[in-house]
Each structure stands twice: as structure tokens, then as C-alpha cells.
Structure 1
Amino acid sequence: MTRPGRVLRSAGRALFGRRARLRWVHLVLGGALLMPFWLVGTVVVGPLTDASNFFAGSLALQFGAYAVALPLTAVAGLFPMARPLSVVVARTLCGVPGERLADGQARTRAARVRTAGWFTLHLGVGALISGASLALPPFAVGLILSPVFPGVRDYLGVPHDAWWSVLLVAAGTGMLLALAAVSAATGALLARQAPVLLGPTPADRLAAAERRATELAERNRLARELHDSVGHALSAVTLQAGAARKVLESGRAADVEFVREALAAIEETTRRTVGELDAVLGLLRQDGDGDGRLDGPTLAALEGLLSRSGVAVTLHTKGTLTAVAAPVSREAYRIVQEGLSNALRHAGASPVTLWIAAGDEELEIRMENPVPDRAPVRRPGGGRGLRGVAERAALLGGQAAAGPDDGVWRLSARLPLAGRR
């Protein structure tokens, strides 16, 4: 294709392409939305003019009503719902990328003022383009057809000769092209202004960042729940299954009862873990209609956790553990669970000593087990359990630490009893 052909094709696409047509629809929609405000303007301006018919009145009445309608449009644009409606229409018809426009209602003063500016610009300019689209095409088509139809020529009162015929056809065609060009240019102008007036304000960006931070914190919390629950279950099941396998391989009939107890512990552990897994997955599947709270086990269920942990635990308590607030009690349960999982993974069946003391201001947890003779097998990338323990304590305003100390692996945590999730 030659260069002039490409230029004509590009010009035709710019004036009559799909984007130009959608933007013209956007402008006409703005003109339609202005009509109620324009009618109110005619009621205000009508008594000040000599027009007997509001719709066929003078230009003074038409533009006077238009001038009254614009401030009313600006006031309507201040309502919070004006922005989401405008954003939906601009995304669909103006071809503005969605990420450049704000989501949700306009809550701040700056956002409402900018939305009012967009609403006024859209409806005001749209009314002018709509009026031109209604009035100009019939007149332009009449000029084009006047050399062929004498009735049209007589109605318009134009002379009949060759030069006038060419001039009228050219004038009518030029009017239609000019209307298309003005409509496309106006639509492009609105598309450029949409991100400026409908884009997110600094307050919107801050609110979006806070939402993302909240969502990330929730995802991390759920990841810790899954890690602690499933990780502990797998560690306990692995240990119990290994012990049962060794007993079966030994062929000693007297140890059948031990195998039965091991299998029962595996069954109970997996059943409990599946229930906890269902709870977490159910929370993930919520579509925003839940309260986002995961009611996990608390210290009231500690005895059951220790009995099926797969390791001998000596428990020392001080204070009333059942009186600890639920948020703190849930985190304390998970910290103990992770401590047991860590002991199972790295120290096998070595006994664990657990101290839990509920004071007036804080809950103290301390776990100890012998350090194994051989170094523990490290997983690729390292484990997440002890990091999760520290995160749980930090969320409550407390602190946690873990590490070897004089031949003993010690995990300790202090949780303020006034801490909240």
C-alpha cells in the first residue's frame, strides 16, 4: 500500500474506527445524562425569556438552560457514587486502561472535587456533541441530496446550477467529516483527562497499600496455620509409622498392642489435621462475606496435643491457662505445636519438657529437649516454623527465641496477655 493510502486508512480508522465510535457513544450518553439538569434549567430561565415553547425556543433559552445545568451537574458529581459509575463507563467506552482509574467511591474531598470536574466535563461536552449529532447530519444530507431532489432544493432555497451542486455536495460532505473529526478529537480529549480526574488520589493509593498489607498479613497468617498444623501432623505420623514398622519387622507378637496404639494415634492425628485444613481452606474460599477469623485450637486442647504428639512430654503449668484470652491462647497453642514438631524432626523420640506460666501480664512458654548427637537434616531453603513462632509472638507484642544452650535445645516465648491479633 502506498503512503497516501496508508494515511487515508489511518485517518479513516481515527474518524470512524471502533474506538472512535465507542467514544462517540460515550459523548452521546453524557448528553443524555445532562437532559434532566437541562430541563431544570429551562424552568429557571424560561420566565426570563419570551419563548413560549421550551424545546423550540430561542438560542438564549437553550444556552441559558445549558449554563444553569452545568453547576447542577457539578453538584451531582460530588456524590460518592458518581465516581464508580463514571469509571465503569470510561473503562468500557473511552478505552482507558483500568489500572489508571480509581476503584470504589470517592471518599475524600479531593476525590469528590475531581469527580465533579469529570462529570461536568463529560456531560457538558457530551451535550454539545449530541446536539450537533442530532442537528447537523440531516442538514448535511439535505445539501448533498439537493442537486438530485428538487423538493429538497426548494425547501433549502438554494439555486440550481452545476457549480452550486458541486459546492453543496462538498459542503454537506465537509460538515459530516467535520462532525466526525470533532467527535473523535473530543473523545480523545476525554480519554486523556480520565486518568487525571478519575485516577486514584494519594489517599486512594494509601488505602490500596493498606488493603494490600492487610491481605498479605492474612495470607501469612494462613500460611503459618497450615505450616504448623500440617507440619506437626506429618512429623508425628512419620515417627509413629516408623516405630510401628520396626515393631512389625521384629516379629514380636507381644508388641502388637504398641502397633495398634501407633495406628490409632496416626488416625486421630490425620483426622484432626484434615479438620483444621478444611477450616483454613474454607476461609480462603470466602468471597468477602465472612469475618476473616479462624477459630483454631487453644490451650484448652493442649492435653490432646501432647498425648498424640508422638514424643514424651513432661508438662509443668502455673496459673489458670483456660482463663487466657482466646487470641493469645490460640497463638500459644500453635507455638507449642511448632516446638513439638521441631523436636520430632530434629531430636526424634527424645523427651521434651514444657513449662507454661500464666501471670498477671504475660504468658511464658519454655520448651527444652536434648540436642541430638548428629546434626539435623536441613531442608532446601530452610524451615519456616521457628520464623513463624517469632512472627506469632511479634503480632501479639511479645518476643520469642530458639536455639541450643549447653546441650539443650530451648524454645522460649513471652506473650502479653493484653495482646491482640
Structure 2
Amino acid sequence: MPGLLLPLKHAVTYTRWLHILVGAIVPFACAMVYPGLSNPSPRDWLLIAALPVPLVLAVATVPSVRRAEGLQARLMLFPGPHARDGNDEDPNVSTAFSASWADRARTGAWLVLRMEAGLALALVTDELLTLALSLAGAAAGEPGLADPLLSVSGTGWMYALLAPVPVLVLVMVAAGAGALTARAARSLLGPSVKERVSELERRTEQLLERNDIARELHDTLGHALTLAVVQAGAARAAGDRAFTDRALEVIEETGRAALEDLDRVLLVLRETGKPAGTRPALDEAGRLLDSARSSGARVDVEVTGPLEDLPGPVSREAYRMLQEALTNVLRHAGPVPVGVRIAVESARLRLEVRNPLPAQAPAPAAGSGRGLRGIRERAALLGGEACAGRHGGHWLLHIVLPLR
């Protein structure tokens, strides 16, 4: 018995009840015109239920009706967690405009269902409340206070015990009708296939954007921190005031550049609508090479072809790949000689970074580490490829990116 009374304390029972009853407005309004509401017969009730159907189906062809019904369903059938028992899942009800005739057909079916369910529940509500009033009147000694279908004869205080029963039955009926209507709303007002695909595409774009931001932060901050650690260690080992001043200057410049990149990434995360600024391109790689040289590495660079003619996405991603490659060299091998080869060909860009392996340190396994994985992901997104591994006594990173 206590379980049957639970719907009484949930606000969602009454919001759904009201939502269903509102659907009865249309048939009752039409009934005032024809056939009338003065002692209607069962045949008249059938006409009242059937006559508004063409009008409702015509209204369903308006694209904005689907959005309006979706918003109402979310508000009344699926209110906030404070109004329900907490077990209802996501309503999964669309609030988009009708984009196809299939959407219009489902909206029409929903409107007809809502209208007929509203009419039926309104009649049940009226009859059960009338019965409760009649029982209360019989308990008070006035048996003719109301005229329900189920007549009440006689008077007596025992009728006071029966008066709440029709109300409780009505609440149970309303709760059941509301649950069925909510299930129908998920089916008839749920997202169409096109909307589901669009939502999946939107979520995929968000995941790709987050992944790209994660790579940006890893490359930028990783490079800056690696240079700072190498410079600080070299300055402490050198014990020379002039060298220490140069190291501090490099750390300052690298930190300032990292802060600028961090501000740009955070601007994207805040979604302020402001432009996120420009990312450095490969023709600006001089500062990367200078930073590596200032850390004690001897960097030999060979460039063939015009870097300024590279497509924007290729040039920017190649800059990040070179940045990560130099960071990995300094992190794992220290200030060793580094060979950088950049070749701009007719249809592709080739980028190679080569450094000797430390004599006593094992070479990292191919494919290990976030840095190499990030480089491979960047290359794959551009339709290229990147591979890294031991080549003789050297570690070689080879990247090929198509220009078209």
C-alpha cells in the first residue's frame, strides 16, 4: 500500500496530469460548436474525439509546432530531479524544428495522442471527482449533491471513509497515464536519425577540439619546461655569470612565449567568441632552433624549398611537430648535436630530426610516450605519416605531410 501512495508526493505526477488535461482543450472547444456539450450521448463523445483530428494533423505540418511540443514535454513531462523520484532517465526529447515529413508525421501522431488522452483523462477526472463529492455529500446527509454515473443511495458517516477512495484512484490513473505519455513522448518527439547524426558529429568535434587543445598544451608547456630545466642545469654546472645571465634570458623568453600560447588556448576554452589568435608557422621556427642552441645543443639545419608557401594547416602543425621533436631530444638525450632537414617538394613536406643516442641510455621504444603519439596524430589528421626509431647510432624522426 505505501508503494501505491508514492505518486502522491511526486510533483511530476501533477505536472504530467496537467499536461495531459491541456490536450483536451481542442476537442472541448470544437464540441462547443458541434455537436454541443448539453447531455452528449456516447455517439456525440465519439464525434467530439474524431472531428478535431484533421485540424490537429494540419497544425502538425508547421515546423515550429514540433519545437513547441518538445519544450512543453521537457518542462511538464520531465521536470527537474526535485520534482520526480530521481529514477527517470534523460528525457531524450527533441526541441528542434521539423526537418522532414517523417518529423511532421510523428508530431501529428503525438498531437492526436495527446488530444485523445487528454479527453479521456478529463472525463475520468470529472467522473471520479464527482463520485468523491457525491460520497462526501452522502456522509453529510445530502446524497444528491452530485450526479455521478455510479449513483450513491442513502446517507451515513461511513461514506466519509469511502470519499477519499475515488481521489486516490484518480491519482493512480493520472500517474499511470503520465508515465505512458512520457514514454510516448520519447518515441514520437525523440530526435530523428538526422538529429542523432548531427549530435554525434557535434560531440565528435568537441572531442577532437579537446584532443587538439591537449596536444597544444603538451607541446607548448612541455617545450618551455624542458628548456627551463636544461638551461637551469647547464647554468648551475657552468658556474659562469655570463652563461647564467644568457640562460636566464632564454628561460624568460621561452616562458613568455609559453604564456602567450597558454592564454590563446584558454581563450578557446572560455568560448568568448573572440578570435583565438594565430598559431606559429614553420617559417617562424628560428626561435625553436635558437632555444635549442642556447641549451647547449648544436643544431644543423638544412632547408630546401619556400617555407612561406606552405598551406597554413601544414605549416602550423609542422611547427608543433618540430617543437615536440626538439623537446624530446633535449629531454631524453640532452644537449647533443641535432640535425634538422626540412624539404618542401611539389606535393609533400618532409621533415627529419636526427640526434645521436646517449651512450649508456637505451633507446626509447618506438611508439612510446605522449610526444611521439601526438606527432603521429597530427600527421594522420593531415593525411601524412610519422615514424621514429633507431637508425644506426642515431634516433631518427621522419615526417611526411601532403601539401594538398
TM over 0.5: yes
Candidates 20, 26, 32, aligned match of 2:22: 32
For residues 211 and 401 of structure 2, what CA distance do their matches in structure 1 show? 19
User: In 2 relative to 1, CA 409–237 (structure 1 residues): closer, same or farther, beyond 3 Å?
Assistant: same
User: In 2 relative to 1, CA 243–148 (structure 1 residues): closer, same or farther, beyond 3 Å?
Assistant: closer
| Counterpart in the other structure of 1:271 | 256
Candidates 377, 384, 394, aligned match of 1:391: 377
Q: CA deviation at 1:73?
A: 3.6
User: In 2 relative to 1, CA 413–147 (structure 1 residues): closer, same or farther, beyond 3 Å?
Assistant: closer
| Counterpart in the other structure of 1:18 | 9
1:328 and 2:314 correspond: yes
1:339 and 2:315 correspond: no
| Counterpart in the other structure of 1:4 | none
| Counterpart in the other structure of 2:291 | 308
8 Å CA contact 2:352, 2:398 repeated in 1: yes
| Counterpart in the other structure of 1:404 | 390
3-state secondary structure, aligned to 1:308: helix
For residues 135 and 248 of structure 2, what CA distance do their matches in structure 1 show? 95
Q: CA deviation at 1:375?
A: 1.2
User: In 2 relative to 1, CA 104–384 (structure 1 residues): closer, same or farther, beyond 3 Å?
Assistant: farther
8 Å CA contact 2:24, 2:122 repeated in 1: no
1:236 and 2:222 correspond: no
3-state secondary structure, aligned to 1:99: coil
For residues 213 and 317 of structure 1, what CA distance do their matches in structure 2 show? 37
Amino acid at match of 2:385: Q
For residues 352 and 364 of structure 2, what CA distance do their matches in structure 1 show? 24
- Equivalent residues, number: 386
Which one is further off, 343-352 or 101-110? Answer: 101-110
Amino acid at match of 1:320: P
Deviations 1:138-171 (A, max 9, x none): 4531343145345x648869xxxx9722597688
For residues 394 and 241 of structure 2, what CA distance do their matches in structure 1 show? 34
8 Å CA contact 2:60, 2:104 repeated in 1: yes
Which one is further off, 338-347 or 23-32? Answer: 23-32
For residues 344 and 301 of structure 1, what CA distance do their matches in structure 2 show? 20
Q: CA deviation at 1:218?
A: 1.9
Deviations 1:330-366 (A, max 9, x none): 1010011011111111221112121212222211111
For residues 247 and 174 of structure 1, what CA distance do their matches in structure 2 show? 93
User: In 2 relative to 1, CA 411–177 (structure 1 residues): closer, same or farther, beyond 3 Å?
Assistant: closer
For residues 24 and 350 of structure 2, what CA distance do their matches in structure 1 show? 68
8 Å CA contact 1:28, 1:127 repeated in 2: no
TM-score normalised over the length of structure 2? 0.81
Q: CA deviation at 1:319?
A: 1.8
User: In 2 relative to 1, CA 269–174 (structure 1 residues): closer, same or farther, beyond 3 Å?
Assistant: closer
8 Å CA contact 1:31, 1:124 repeated in 2: no
8 Å CA contact 1:235, 1:341 repeated in 2: yes
Q: Give matches, 1:122-141, under 5 Å.
A: 122-134=114-126, 136-138=128-130, 140-141=132-133
Query: What is the Cα-based RMSD across aligned positions, in Å?
Result: 3.5
Amino acid at match of 2:76: V
Candidates 226, 236, 243, aligned match of 1:245: 236
The structure where helix makes up a greater share of residues is: 1
8 Å CA contact 1:83, 1:115 repeated in 2: no
| Counterpart in the other structure of 1:368 | 354
User: In 2 relative to 1, CA 154–203 (structure 1 residues): closer, same or farther, beyond 3 Å?
Assistant: closer
Q: Give matches, 1:174-193, under 5 Å.
A: 175-193=166-184
For residues 145 and 381 of structure 2, what CA distance do their matches in structure 1 show? 86
Q: CA deviation at 1:298?
A: 1.0
Candidates 88, 91, 94, aligned match of 1:97: 88
8 Å CA contact 1:283, 1:294 repeated in 2: no
Structure 2 residue ranges without an equivalent (≥5): none
Identity of aligned residues (%): 32
Candidates 77, 83, 87, aligned match of 2:70: 83
Q: CA deviation at 1:241?
A: 0.9
User: In 2 relative to 1, CA 154–204 (structure 1 residues): closer, same or farther, beyond 3 Å?
Assistant: closer
Which one is further off, 214-223 or 232-241? Answer: 214-223
Q: CA deviation at 1:308?
A: 1.8
Q: CA deviation at 1:116?
A: 3.9
Candidates 233, 237, 245, aligned match of 1:260: 245
